[in-house]
Amino acid sequence: MSARPRQPAPAPGNRQTAGGALPLALRYTHVSLPVTLLLTLLATTIAWHAAENALEASTRAHFEFRVTEITDAIRGRITDYAQVLRGGVALHAASESVEWYEWRAYVDTLRLENTYPGIQGIGIVHRVAHAHAGAFVTAMRRHSTAFGITPPGERPEYFAVRYIEPMNERNLRALGYDMYTEPVRRAAMERARDSGEAAVSGKVTLVQEGPTGTQPGFLVYLPLYANGAETGTQAQRQRALTGYVYAAFRMADLMRGLLGGVPDLRVEIFDGHEVSDEGRLYDSARDTARDEASFVTVSRVVVADHVWTVRTSALPALMASVDRTRPRVVLASGIAISLLVTALVWTLATTRARALRLAARMTRDLHQSREQLTMALEGSKLALFDWHVTEGTVALSESWNVMRGGPAQPTLTTIDRLEGTVHPEDAPRLRHHLAQVLRGAVPYYEIEHRVRTYDGRWKWIVSRAKVTERDENGRAVRLTGTNADITEKKVVEEMKDEFVATVSHELRTPLTSIIGGLALIKEDSATLPEETRVLLDLAYENAERLAALVNDILDIEKLEAGRIALEPKALELPALLRHALRVNAPYAERYGTRFELAEPVPPVRIWADEARVLQVLTNLLSNAARFSPADAPVTVRASEREGRTRVEIADRGPGVPDEFRSRIFTRFAQAHTGGNAPHGGTGLGLAISKAIVEASGGAIGFESAPGAGATFWFELPLAR
């Protein structure tokens, strides 16, 4: 049993909950937006940082590589230069005395400027004992007239520059210079002498330097030992030393050749292990302001037997050359994504909020309409009922139980039990109407009937309903409607009916006198004057009409109040119809027409009150006769179908006017068909007929097209 219990009025709490959910959701939205933006931006920042770090790492790696390259180049270059000097040493080994032109030729072949840039000159230092100094100077002056040992002074031995190539003005200043007098050079010379290997001097200013454009320099020495002398020990080497092959370097020139242009790096070279201004040999960006560089590397380069400290710094150019696209892309796209995500969240949140708002509004509307409905039902004392036809269950609202004198609670019952509360006299009528509306024969159902209250009394209710749901085959699934207590109205109606009945009743006695008196006079009217006779007839006819009216009023009052006890029995239809036609034949004659019974009449028996069925037939036949044109017969036809018989009375009159169709069966609803005189009758015949037929469990109706006659029909159940 899937019942459809009426929801009780919503508890006020429900509504509050529905209302409270909305601000909460909105508050949630307000919080979620900045949080989303913050989180996504944070993620962006992290990603950006990661990209930046990766970039820095790769930049640093690149930088480190460059540094390694540079230090390797320096070391390699000095080694190469040492090799050049070794060539000079070899030259000496080959001949006892190397002449100046031989030296020049050797140095020329080296093509220093191209192959070994930075070498200021390659020269030979000659060891001269004090005793031989004069002869040496004399010999030298043979081809170099200005030769002299500098600085002047008496010394036990001299180490004077004998040759220096290429011979240019700058190198000329070095010729004859006793290097041994200068401590830095002397230290290197002694190391070379003692080790037999190349020795690199500390930072010096070359004697070649002029007054301007001075730059730091250094020298590389290789010792020359006397040919054939023992050089196995340090002492032997000291004794055997005859001089040096040396090379003079101007540091800036050397490095320029070595590094080429390095706009992105600052390379500084310091003599020894320390970074100090005094020891600075070289600064590739001397003119550039020193600022905090991102990358600085200090490394040590061993050049021959000497150590240089190389400090490499990244210049803004290096940082500028770095491709920063990636982190920027990361940052930009990150921000874009953040904004997008936030926008998306915002959209979702607002959509959600909108949906919630809509839902809340709909809920509120629903509650409101429910409440309104409930209040309307309570106010109008209407009991809602919902009959699930296929399942046979009926749900009724509280008012139903209240109506029947019970507590205010919804009722859930079955249609059979519900029918059990209906007054037995009303049940057939009710069933018939229900069947019609379920079948779809009528769109709407409205019937007044009685139901039993809990204390056994009867209450009048009006039940209105329509089919609210049908299945695909058109079968009724649900029937929904209202029941209203009309007992009070019924009481008033009964009082009114009683009044009408009393009035009608009180009319009867005087009418009897009038009709009787007039009738008696009419019996002797032959002797009366013509005009008197006409007036007498007029009075008599109208008295009769008044009597008929009174009878009809009483009839319908009783019928509609359900106060008429029908005495149904099985009636042979053919005999009944023939009798009706015979009795009413005078009517037809009066209107110049006739009744025709269409054969065959089905030989069935109907279940009805004979007098009342005859009354119906009389009403319909007299109606048809009144409206029928002269000489056009009124046809009576009977048929049988589905346990019912149908009797049709067809006339060829003007038909039922459109504006009259809907109320033709109501009291005093007489049509005024154009031009004709009033059609007589009381105006109650059809209403009475309808009441009789329906009380007998039948139906009545008509079909008519204006101008094409009318066919009135009624259906009655067959006798079982």
Residues that bind other proteins (CB under 8 A): 505-506, 508-517, 519-520, 523, 543, 547, 550-551, 554, 565
Least distance to other proteins, CB of residue 633, Å: 30
The distance of closest approach from Cβ of residue 536 to other proteins in the complex, given in angstroms and rounded to an integer, is 14
Cis link prior to 586 (omega < 30° from 0)?
Answer: no
Token digits of residue 186: 């002397």
How would you classify the pairing of strands 476-485 and 569-572? unpaired
Q: How far is CA 111 from CA 104, 121, 217, 260, 359, in A?
A: 11, 11, 20, 19, 95
CB of 450 to other proteins, least distance (A): 20
Q: Decide whether 239 or 508 has the Cβ nearer to other proteins.
A: 508
What phi, psi does 306 have (nearest 5°)?
A: -120, 155
Least distance (Å) between residue 613 CB and other proteins: 17
Residue number, 363 or 551, with CB nearest to other proteins:
551
The answer to whether 553 touches 504, Cβ cutoff 8 Å, is yes
Question: d(Cα 356, Cα 21) in Å, to the nearest integer?
Answer: 8
Nearer to other proteins, 512 or 666 (CB): 512
Q: What string of DSSP letters covers 545-559?
A: HHHHHHHHHHHHHHH
CB of 556 to other proteins, least distance (A): 12
Q: Residue 162 is inside which H or E element, if any?
A: strand 157-165
Nearer to other proteins, 337 or 507 (CB): 507
Structural tokens at position 637: 């036809």
- Helices 12-94, 251-259: inter-axial angle, 10-degree rounding: 120
- Judged by beta carbon, residue 382 or residue 554, the one nearer other proteins is 554
Q: How far is the CB of 508 from other proteins (least distance, A)?
A: 4
Token reading at 274: 């320390």
CA separation for the pair 53, 482 (Å, rounded): 80
Q: Report the candidate in 414, 417, 377 with the shortest Cα–Cα distance to residue 397.
A: 377
Q: Could you tell me the sign of the dihedral formed by the alpha carbons of 437, 442, 444, 445, in that order? A: negative
Closest C-alpha among 665, 646, 629 to residue 577 = 646
Of 487 and 618, the one with the shorter C-beta distance to other proteins is 618
Q: With beta carbons less than 8 A apart as the criterion, state whether 161 and 133 touch.
A: no
- Closer to other proteins by Cβ: residue 341 or 546: 546
Which backbone phi and psi does 548 adopt, to 5 degrees? -65, -40
Q: Decide whether 516 or 701 has the Cβ nearer to other proteins.
A: 516
Closest separation in Å from C-beta 494 to other proteins = 15
Under a CB-based contact definition with an 8 Å cutoff, are residues 415 and 434 in contact?
no
Tell me how far, at minimum, the Cβ of 511 lies from other proteins, in Å. 4
Q: Which of 383, 559, 406 is nearest to 464 (CA)?
A: 383
Given the complex with other proteins, which of 112 and 554 has the nearer CB atom? 554
Where would I find the beta strands (DSSP E) of 622-685?
634-641, 644-651
Residue 488 CB, nearest distance to other proteins (Å)? Answer: 25
